[in-house]
Amino acid sequence: MNDSLSRRAAELREKLNYHSYRYHVLDSPVVTDGEYDALFHELRTLEEAHPDLLTPDSPTQRVGSTPRSNLPKVEHAAPVLSLTNAFSDDDVRAWRERIGKLLPADMMLDYVVEPKLDGLSVVLTYEDGIFVQGATRGDGLIGEEITPNLRTLLSLPLRIPADPDGPHAPPTLVVRGEAFFSLRIFEELNQRRVEEGETPFVNPRNAASGALRQLDPGITAQRPLQIALYQILAGEGDLPSTQWDVLHYLASLGFPVMLEYSAYFDDLEEAIAHLHTWEDRRRTLDFEIDGLVIKVNDLQTFDDLGVVGKDPRGATAFKFPAEERTTKLLGIGINVGRTGVLAPYAMLEPVEVSGVTVKQATLHNFDDIQAKDIRIGDTVIVKRSGEVIPYVVGPVADLRDGSERKIEAPTKCPFCKHATIRNEEEVAIYCSNPQCPERLARTIEYFVSRGAMDIDGLGDRIVRQLIDAGLIQDVADIYTLQADDLLTLEGFAEKKVENLLAAIDTSRGRSLERVITALGIKGVGSTVAELLTAEFASLQELAQASEEAIQQIAGLGPHTAESIVAAFADQQNRVVVEKLRAAGIDPKAERRTKASERLAGMTFV
């Protein structure tokens, strides 16, 4: 046997056992589910290729971990199983091939695809239609009794059938499902925790586990969880013989079931194609799913296929790429925006999250950093979800060694050293200096950008050079730049200067809509600018308009109107607008819309 392989297997066993203990026993994981799954997958693959590496203490050989001991124990009516994972279409096809070998040749299969809810697995027992016992999964054989806690879940039927016209409840019915938080409730819960000075939960699943395993069900009741059922674990009488019918049967008894999100297929390739439709769809849900489960529809076949370790062969979980990873927070950086907002970001030890190397991530604001108690040197969870910019979810406080440093909100702008200020209604911290060079850089970058004045050749680096050389103090100074001045700058030769000045010159002819956008007034992007040009024929007209007049325009709220009036009332801005006009930037609206014609008589013409 290869020594390095056996060493790797031992290492994986040790890691997985430790992480499983942290997760199941301490309720305090230090790696993300995705990282655990990846290690597990690696060990399983190793053992499959080299069965001699298999040991009795391998985490692949058992069902879960020992439950925490302060809740009463209950023995499950049947093993509460887990699932193997598939990470690609080929993994799903390989699953089909594996089970195909155990089935009569050419046996056709059909499938049910269900969302894989990311919550806490629960088992509910009904006797003569009455909910008598609820339990967690525990180690799969023995769970923790949480009946009173589950009774507080409003969607859990205390008696079945919930509708007297529904089918008769069998004498005993044991069903399995998942308890979870909606994202909205999860956010609310965390907000409340922060207000009460408690650490927020890092994800809805941990929150669900925390809520259900309370010794005091009163606490569970304050945290409204949802539940969805998907399996009959045991029961008597005439029970459905396919998974598709189970879902409908459970629904007819009054159980919440993910029917509208589940689908039936008699062709595996169609099922596989369907899996991918969920990559976007999942983001429209108000709860988290970490994948989809593909199940063999016929339950007799499902049973016949048997179980490997804790995983039934008849189903597999198609997992979405892990969106969360842990890494070290090396430090924080601060960006200054156009408006002067100081935006903190995390500098991270590079880590790959769903296929992309992440080195920086958003830290929303300093209040958030404080609330989550994120410290420099912490191991943090980083999330990258869809197109969203990666952000720091929170720290793994249990991995601290004491060397971590708290992060203070800056009292001075890191760029111009002026004092910072805080706007009472906002969490943001601002630089108080309107002339802050960093802010000016952002303002100019915005002014020259594509959707605004679109000046080619004025990239971020050159903007910085111009500011540092004292050649521009505001956006209007762009139009007074002289060839002689530019030629003194590093990297500027004749041709480059000529091109830049030509590009600047071209921009003098930009439309009113673009010029309004370029001014970068809070709340005024290109859409609002377009609305404004339908009403106001020039910058001067807009500058003289009252809040009321601006508000009359469809879609413009009082805040935007107020911000426009304030921007034009500002002395410095007035100078800029005047300088722009003097530089020949004085566009007139080209067209008038119907709305403007309607309003024209009563407003400006």
Query: Using CB under 6 A, which of the segments 309-317, 465-473, 548-556, 586-594 binds ligand IVH?
Result: 309-317
Query: Using CB under 6 A, which of the segments 101-109, 116-124, 394-402, 591-599 binds ligand IVH?
Result: 116-124
Task: Based on the shown chain and the rule CB under 6 A, indicate whether residue 83 belongs to the binding site for ligand IVH.
Answer: yes
Q: How many CA atoms lie within 13 A of 560 on its CB side?
A: 18
Task: Based on the shown chain and the rule CB under 6 A, indicate whether residue 138 belongs to the binding site for ligand IVH.
Answer: no
Binders of ligand IVH in range 445-484 (CB under 6 A): none
Select from 135, 202, 315, 466 the one that contacts ligand IVH (CB under 6 A).
Answer: 315
Short-list 364, 365, 333, 335, CA closest to 346:
333
Short-list 421, 419, 422, 413, CA closest to 440:
413
Residue 67 burial (CB count, 10 A): 20
Beta bridge partners of 420: 431
* Cis before 72? omega within 30: no
Q: Name the H helices within 492-546.
A: 494-507, 512-518, 526-535, 539-544
Task: Based on the shown chain and the rule CB under 6 A, indicate whether residue 317 belongs to the binding site for ligand IVH.
Answer: yes
Nearer to ligand IVH, 230 or 278 (CB): 230
- Min CB(241)–ligand IVH separation in Å: 16
Nearer to ligand IVH, 156 or 478 (CB): 156
Q: What angle do helix axes 268-281 and 89-102 make, rounded to 10 degrees?
A: 150
Query: Using CB under 6 A, which of the segments 76-84, 167-175, 464-472, 507-515 binds ligand IVH?
Result: 76-84
Contact 379, 324 (CB under 8 A): no
Select from 47, 110, 114, 323 the one that contacts ligand IVH (CB under 6 A).
Answer: 114
Nearer to ligand IVH, 274 or 581 (CB): 274
Task: Based on the shown chain and the rule CB under 6 A, indicate whether residue 37 belongs to the binding site for ligand IVH.
Answer: no
Nearer to ligand IVH, 317 or 515 (CB): 317
Contact letters (x/-) for ligand IVH, 168-187, by CB under 6 A? ----------x---------
* Residues 6 or more apart in contact with residue 246 via CB below 8 angstroms: 230, 231, 232, 239, 240, 299
Select from 13, 24, 41, 116 the one that contacts ligand IVH (CB under 6 A).
Answer: 116
Task: Based on the shown chain and the rule CB under 6 A, indicate whether residue 117 belongs to the binding site for ligand IVH.
Answer: yes
**DSSP characters over 110-170:** -EEEEEEE-SEEEEEEEETTEEEEEEE-TTSSEEEB-HHHHHT-TTS-SBSSSSTTSPPPP
Task: Based on the shown chain and the rule CB under 6 A, indicate whether residue 121 belongs to the binding site for ligand IVH.
Answer: yes
How far apart CA 487 and CA 233 sit, in angstroms, is 80
Q: Name the H helices within 415-525.
A: 437-448, 460-468, 483-487, 494-507, 512-518
Task: Based on the shown chain and the rule CB under 6 A, indicate whether residue 135 belongs to the binding site for ligand IVH.
Answer: no
Integer angstrom CA distances of residue 529 from 291, 559, 575, 595: 42, 15, 21, 15
Nearer to ligand IVH, 121 or 365 (CB): 121
Nearer to ligand IVH, 125 or 507 (CB): 125
- Min CB(329)–ligand IVH separation in Å: 30
User: CA-based Rg of the chain, rounded to a whole angstrom?
Assistant: 31
Contact letters (x/-) for ligand IVH, 231-260, by CB under 6 A? x-----------------------------
Task: Based on the shown chain and the rule CB under 6 A, indicate whether residue 275 belongs to the binding site for ligand IVH.
Answer: no
Nearer to ligand IVH, 324 or 535 (CB): 324
- Min CB(135)–ligand IVH separation in Å: 13
Select from 230, 249, 415, 447 the one that contacts ligand IVH (CB under 6 A).
Answer: 230
Q: CB nearest ligand IVH: which residue? A: 121
Select from 293, 296, 329, 380 the one that contacts ligand IVH (CB under 6 A).
Answer: 293
Query: Using CB under 6 A, which of the segments 86-94, 110-118, 441-449, 574-582 binds ligand IVH?
Result: 110-118
Select from 32, 60, 65, 82 the one that contacts ligand IVH (CB under 6 A).
Answer: 82
Query: Using CB under 6 A, which of the segments 42-50, 113-121, 486-494, 578-586 binds ligand IVH?
Result: 113-121
How far apart CA 302 and CA 295 sit, in angstroms, is 8
- In the annotation, is 383 catalytic? no
Integer angstrom CA distances of residue 423 from 333, 362, 426, 431, 568: 21, 21, 5, 11, 21
Task: Based on the shown chain and the rule CB under 6 A, indicate whether residue 312 belongs to the binding site for ligand IVH.
Answer: yes
Contact 239, 232 (CB under 8 A): yes
Nearer to ligand IVH, 135 or 315 (CB): 315
Q: Which residue among the candidates 116, 319, 372, 383 is catalytic per the annotation? A: 116
| Burial classification of residue 389, based on how many CB atoms lie within 10 Å of its CB (0-12 exposed, 13-18 middle, 19 or more buried) | exposed
Residue holding tokens 């909910």?
131
Select from 9, 53, 63, 81 the one that contacts ligand IVH (CB under 6 A).
Answer: 81
How far apart CA 52 and CA 5 sit, in angstroms, is 11
Tokens of 178: 């998942």
Task: Based on the shown chain and the rule CB under 6 A, indicate whether residue 203 belongs to the binding site for ligand IVH.
Answer: no
Q: Which residues form the interface with ligand IVH (CB under 6 A)?
A: 81-83, 114, 116-117, 121, 178, 230-231, 293, 312, 315, 317
Catalytic positions? 116
